Amino acid sequence: MKGGVKVGIINVTGYAGVELARLLRHHPEAELVAVTGRSAVGQKLGEVFPHLADMDLTVEAELTDSVDLAFSALPQVASAPVVAPLVRDGLRVVDISADFRLKDASEYEVWYKAAHPAPDLLEEAVYGLTELNRRELPSARLVANPGCFPTGALLALAPLAHHDLIQGDVIFDCKSGVSGAGRGLSLFTHYSEVNENVQAYGLEGHRHLPEIIQELRKVNPRLGARVTFVPHLVPMTRGILSTCYVWPKDGALGPADKAQARVRELYQEFFRGEPFVKVVPAPPQTKHTWGNNDCLLYPVFERRTGRLVVISCLDNLVKGAAGQAIQNMNLMFGLPETAGLDHLAVYP
């Protein structure tokens, strides 16, 4: 038995939950002691997920063991009613669902078509994009783990927003693998419909949009940009590549022939010392982050037009969900930030 922080996973049966279990198994200072999941109560974890067969845990209806931290991998709307009483009872929680991300309960209601059951906790909840909110994590009781799209989008533009270099409006054109849509069944994720196919979706407004806007404005309250966000579904299991289009403010990057070097420096400076965010020297590919917690960034100054194109990529189930949740846990409990997350991507 490993000792260290004792953790439980609420709803281990979705992809974020099962990825948490995988990552925790390799964690040197945390121990997974309990898992819940309504559809599989009473089954051994390895019966549901054969790759976890060597983890001796039984799926329970509710968290019963005494744990130091609970991860909620419940779906949106279902999570808050479960999480809120736990937090009030003094349990620290990282909620992977969207339920505590928006600060404004009325905005939550607009986007999630449900009244928020615990609006009093919204202010306190820390938006767990680790790199941007690191200082709030050690004392956090409730962490709202970011969505997979917002993680890539926000890290891509945070340096520019921070330095107030963005002029006009912003576009996020994002390409996601299918696991981001979860383990629930739908034609949208049916193999024969997805394979050999690309489509845009959420054109009427995707739920990750208000989260992106809220946090961009937190980085820079003066930012007035209108934000367009178009997600696309591509035929692969893991990975998000975001292509972000902005205009830099006039002259903000200096003379055109120096702007590319300038913007790279600015990104490198902003993320200096970050273990998981890397400003890379060549266009990144989602495969470079397959299975690990990295977010790769590649800013390009398009000299012909003066536009900036910033590309980010990450694994939606790791940095976009379970990995970042563990990164947040590490900071909440004073552990090394990279504990349990020190994997290379699996290539090819």
Identify the sign of the CA torsion 76, 79, 153, 17: negative
Distance of CA 85 to the CA centre of its chain: 24
Q: Is 336 in the site for a copy of itself (CB under 8 A)?
A: no
What's the CA gap between 66 and 68, in Å, rounded? 7
Least distance (Å) between residue 333 CB and a copy of itself: 23
Q: Which of residues 190-219 bind a copy of itself (CB under 8 A)?
A: 190-201, 203, 205
- Pattern of binders to a copy of itself over 137-176, x per CB under 8 A? --------------------------------x-x-x-x-
Q: Which stretch binds a copy of itself (CB under 8 A): 3-11, 97-105, 177-185, 325-333?
A: 177-185
Distance of CA 259 to the CA centre of its chain: 30
Which residue of 245, 262, 274, 338 would you call a contact of a copy of itself, by CB under 8 A?
A: 245
- Pattern of binders to a copy of itself over 250-269, x per CB under 8 A? --------------------
What's the CA gap between 317 and 8, in Å, rounded? 18
Q: Which residues neighbour 103 within 8 Å (Cβ) at sequence distance 6 or greater? A: 122, 123, 214
Q: Tell me whether residue 248 or residue 284 sits nearer to a copy of itself (CB atom).
A: 284
Q: Tell me whether residue 141 or residue 287 sits nearer to a copy of itself (CB atom).
A: 287
Query: Is 148 noted as a catalytic residue in this protein?
Result: yes
* Contact assessment for residue 272 and residue 297, using Cβ atoms and an 8 Å cutoff: no
* Contact assessment for residue 42 and residue 18, using Cβ atoms and an 8 Å cutoff: no
Residues facing residue 309 across a β-bridge: 245, 300
Q: Which of residues 215-244 bind a copy of itself (CB under 8 A)?
A: 226-228, 230, 232, 234-239, 241, 243
Tokens describing residue 40: 């599989």
C-alpha triplet 309, 311, 317: angle, nearest 5°: 155
Q: Tell me whether residue 64 or residue 195 sits nearer to a copy of itself (CB atom).
A: 195
Q: Tell me whether residue 8 or residue 177 sits nearer to a copy of itself (CB atom).
A: 177
Question: Which of 148, 174, 295, 313 is flagged as catalytic?
Answer: 148
Tokens describing residue 156: 């891509």
Q: Which of residues 295-314 bind a copy of itself (CB under 8 A)?
A: 296, 300, 302, 304-307, 309, 311, 313
* Contact assessment for residue 324 and residue 128, using Cβ atoms and an 8 Å cutoff: yes
Which residue of 6, 25, 141, 217 would you call a contact of a copy of itself, by CB under 8 A?
A: 25
Please, is 195 exposed, middle or buried when counting C-beta atoms within 10 Å of its C-beta (0-12, 13-18, 19+)?
A: exposed
Q: Which stretch binds a copy of itself (CB under 8 A): 56-64, 93-101, 112-120, 287-295?
A: 287-295
Which H or E element spans position 245? strand 240-248
Q: Is 276 in the site for a copy of itself (CB under 8 A)?
A: no
* Contact assessment for residue 289 and residue 296, using Cβ atoms and an 8 Å cutoff: yes
Q: Tell me whether residue 151 or residue 289 sits nearer to a copy of itself (CB atom).
A: 289
Residues facing residue 127 across a β-bridge: 144
Count residues near a copy of itself (CB under 8 A). 83
* Contact assessment for residue 266 and residue 248, using Cβ atoms and an 8 Å cutoff: no
Which residue of 288, 297, 329, 340 would you call a contact of a copy of itself, by CB under 8 A?
A: 288
Q: Is 183 in the site for a copy of itself (CB under 8 A)?
A: yes
Q: Which of residues 41-100 bind a copy of itself (CB under 8 A)?
A: 47, 49-54
Q: Tell me whether residue 92 or residue 238 sits nearer to a copy of itself (CB atom).
A: 238
Please, is 198 exposed, middle or buried when counting C-beta atoms within 10 Å of its C-beta (0-12, 13-18, 19+)?
A: exposed
Q: Tell me whether residue 334 or residue 348 sits nearer to a copy of itself (CB atom).
A: 348
Residues with active-site annotation: 148
